[in-house]
Amino acid sequence: MCDYSLEIYRSRPASAGERYETRRFPSQTVGVVAPSDPSTAVCMACDTRLRLEGIPETIQKSSGVSATETVTFARLEPGPHHDGVVFDNGAQVTLQQLGAGVQVTVEDALDTPTVPERQEEVVR
């Protein structure tokens, strides 16, 4: 998922193990990019587990977290920007609130949505 305001930019999906950083695009929306390609938004599936490093002190204080945390990527409501993260303590922040310059490592990427297996009905 990439915030709707990033749709005007080139994008690609995230991959497990890759390192990224948050960046403010010309549209003023904060998104995730690979340092080697800062003009391409990296999109993540909801529930992707991420490791954040360099969380701003204001977020640390307001959310009760440290400078480095493991989080879950999520779509947050309401507001104009929906891409965000949920900390293990339940605190939620949008990428806009995190701001630019936070280091992001994908720990567990959901490459495809999880769909429950269909049970075959037994006809007697």
**Residue ranges covered by each domain of the chain:** 4-108
* N-terminal to C-terminal alpha carbon distance within the chain: 44
Average pLDDT value over all residues in the chain: 86
Whether 120 has a pLDDT exceeding 70, the answer reads no
In terms of Cβ atoms closer than 10 Å to its own Cβ (0-12, 13-18, 19+), residue 72 is: middle
Query: How far is it, in rounded angstroms, from Cα 65 to Cα 98?
Result: 12
Whether 109 has a pLDDT exceeding 90, the answer reads no
Q: What is the pLDDT of residues 57-67, one digit of tens each?
A: 999 999 999 99
Q: Which residue has the tokens 């959901």?
A: 110
> pTM higher than 0.85, yes or no?
no
Tokens encoding 72: 């879950």
Amino acid 111: pLDDT: 52
Percent of the chain with pLDDT over 90: 69
